[in-house]
Amino acid sequence: PPQPVPQYREPQPIAVPPLEGRPFPQQTGIQVPGQSVPVPEETGINVLEDARIIKLVDALVNGKLSDITPVIDFNYKAGFAYPAVDSLLDTSEQETVKILDALANSEILIKQPYDRFFVDPDGLFQLVPVEHCPRDDSANLVKGQLVEHFSCGFVGLDKDFKQDARYVCPKCRKDLRLIGTDYRNIGMHYRCGDCGEVFTTPVIKWRNLKTRREWNADELREMEVYSYRFSPDKKGWLEFQLKPKTQLVDFLRLQGYQVQELAQLTGKSGAVHTFDILAIRDDILTKINLGIGILVANTGEPEVKLEALFKFDTRAYDIGINYKVVIAIPKLGPEAINFANRQMIRAFEARTLASVVSDITSSPHSKISLQSSLEAGSSHEGRSPAGNTSATIVRFLRNRGYEVYEKALIVGKSGIEHVFDIFARRDDKLIVPTIAIGVAGYDTGQPVGMEQVAMFDAAAFDCGIRNKVFIGLPQINVQARQFAKQQKIDIIEQQDLGRLM
């Protein structure tokens, strides 16, 4: 999106409007095609046009996710789930099953039976078998070996004969000593404790542990659970189809970023979070940690809701990501847009990932229209040591693709004008990192104190600039160093300048 154009006062300090900390008015301005893409009626999901599916397929193709097997656990609403996929896609259990079935229907995944269980007419599955008497339907049953005493002809369960360590006939009171001579075992039988009926096979009913209702077997519905595995025949075709994401990754690498796809990181809370793309670039003066999330509206909904964006932002905060970008398909809802602006999340909207990537990679870099007479390349002869240091910093930043301006005047949120010794920006298209640099030093060699560092930090905060560098010549004192660390200000002293040459 186009950035605000700085206004300059020459030869006075240069006026640059704040580029960070303010909402981007056209932040979500990628055009959405007017005609919707058709989706299969049976699933409502566009295979390889749904960013969630692209994410899952990408994990399968790259081997980051192996065969997908269900976890059978009655704590889940459906009695089973695929938690590895739920976590990767940030989807509900039901939505995950829809996605897996859509991929199976497209022959990208091979669907195989894994397990089965029964569901009662209420749709509940916490069922246990209960044995009933076929005569009076009582569940008060006793199971045991049926014994016949040859001498008197009494027939009963083995428990009727047991007295301590002996077998004694309850009818004639004689001891039963030898099986086959005194008695015989007829087989396992049941006896109803209510009506006394003896039988071999009880009636099986199924009791729901939650509702306590019981059902006959013919009233239950059998549910089959499936596992899924990647079809190796589709790998080459999928690698071609996943080209948009590959193009985005390649684009970031050309910008000097180290890129990791489906990066799993442990946050300060101890939770493990997955980012679609994590891009890191170390510019020495500042380090950029860029987290990119691909957010897709739920099936049947026209926009990405606030909840999905909030989860992304929470993960980024827990990890310590300092630049956040989301690609919303097809678009963000109004509440989500407001939240993105407040949390400084750069948002792109489009109906497909391919159209977003095409727009990002083909758009020209934004430029500041006017240039300062003190921009890098101008003469720095006759300057003080601090001035010579500024010239070194300017050259260093320009060599890394930054636009650099000296004595830049920026109006803060408070309306106060602040002058920064050096202000630098670099348009990476996805984000526009900016750096405010303060330079202070004494010819006497006296350390720079906390007052100057604190004034610089207050100005940067008012202007919403997150990347802050303070150069103290020859050095800064202990209190200033502690303050800088607390406020996340990078400190450069005389001894550090060699690594910028």
How many angstroms separate the CA atoms of 205 and 127, rounded? 10
Where is average pLDDT lowest: 10-19, 210-219, 413-422, 463-472?
A: 10-19
How many angstroms separate the CA atoms of 412 and 435, rounded? 15
How many angstroms separate the CA atoms of 469 and 478, rounded? 17
What pairing do the DSSP bridges indicate for beta strands 71-72 and 417-425? unpaired
Average pLDDT of the chain is 82
Of 442, 445, 432, 440, which Cα lies nearest the Cα of 456?
440
Burial of 408 (0-12, 13-18, 19+ CB in 10 A): buried
Q: Is residue 97 within 8 Å of 165, Cβ to Cβ?
A: no
What pairing do the DSSP bridges indicate for beta strands 434-441 and 467-473? parallel
Beta-sheet strand order (sheet of 155-157): 155-157, 141-149, 183-192, 198-199
H-helix segments, 157-305: 158-161, 235-241, 243-254
H-helix segments, 179-280: 235-241, 243-254
Per-residue pLDDT, averaged over 143-156, amounts to 93
Q: Is residue 386 within 8 Å of 441, Cβ to Cβ?
A: yes
Collect all residues with Cβ–Cβ distance below 8 Å to 486 and sequence separation of at least 6: none
Where is average pLDDT lowest: 17-31, 249-263, 366-380?
A: 17-31
Who has greater pLDDT, 224 or 443? 224
DSSP 8-state code for residue 108: S
Q: Is residue 454 within 8 Å of 483, Cβ to Cβ?
A: yes
> What CA dihedral angle connects 5, 467, 458 and 498, to 10 degrees?
-110
How many angstroms separate the CA atoms of 234 and 151, rounded? 77
Question: What digits encode the pLDDT tens for the residues 257-295?
Answer: 999 988 888 999 999 888 889 999 998 888 999 999 888
Per-residue pLDDT, averaged over 332-351, amounts to 92
Q: List the structure tokens of 356.
A: 């977003």
Per-residue pLDDT, averaged over 122-138, amounts to 89
The pLDDT value recorded for residue 386 is 62
User: Could you give the domains of the chain?
Assistant: 7-16+368-500 (3.40.1350.10), 24-37+254-363 (3.40.1350.10), 134-201 (no CATH)
Distance of alpha carbon 368 from the chain centroid: 36
Q: Above 80 in pLDDT, residue 413?
A: yes
Per-residue pLDDT, averaged over 388-401, amounts to 88
Per-residue pLDDT, averaged over 240-268, amounts to 85
Beta strands in 168-271 (DSSP E): 183-192, 198-199, 203-208, 214-216, 221-230, 258-266
| Residue 10 pLDDT class (50, 70, 90 cuts) | very low
115 phi/psi in degrees, rounded to 5: -165, 170
pTM of the model: 0.60
How many angstroms separate the CA atoms of 59 and 261, rounded? 9
Q: Above 70 in pLDDT, residue 45?
A: no
Per-residue pLDDT, averaged over 375-400, amounts to 68
Q: Above 90 in pLDDT, residue 362?
A: no
Per-residue pLDDT, averaged over 132-149, amounts to 94
Q: Is residue 200 within 8 Å of 186, Cβ to Cβ?
A: no
Sign of the CA dihedral with 384 first, then 390, 396, and 401 last: negative
| Residue 161 pLDDT class (50, 70, 90 cuts) | very high
**Radius of gyration over every alpha carbon of the chain, rounded to an integer in angstroms:** 36
The pLDDT value recorded for residue 85 is 92
Give the CA count within 13 Å in the CB-facing half-sphere of 376.
Answer: 20
Per-residue pLDDT, averaged over 340-362, amounts to 84
Q: Above 50 in pLDDT, residue 473?
A: yes
| Residue 388 pLDDT class (50, 70, 90 cuts) | confident
The pLDDT value recorded for residue 444 is 66
Q: Is residue 194 within 8 Å of 133, Cβ to Cβ?
A: yes
180: left (phi over 0), alpha (psi -120 to 50) or beta: left
Of 7, 21, 2, 4, which Cα lies nearest the Cα of 459?
21
How many angstroms separate the CA atoms of 212 and 214, rounded? 7
Q: List the structure tokens of 442.
A: 């004494």
Per-residue pLDDT, averaged over 484-492, amounts to 92
How many angstroms separate the CA atoms of 207 and 225, rounded? 21
| Residue 238 pLDDT class (50, 70, 90 cuts) | confident
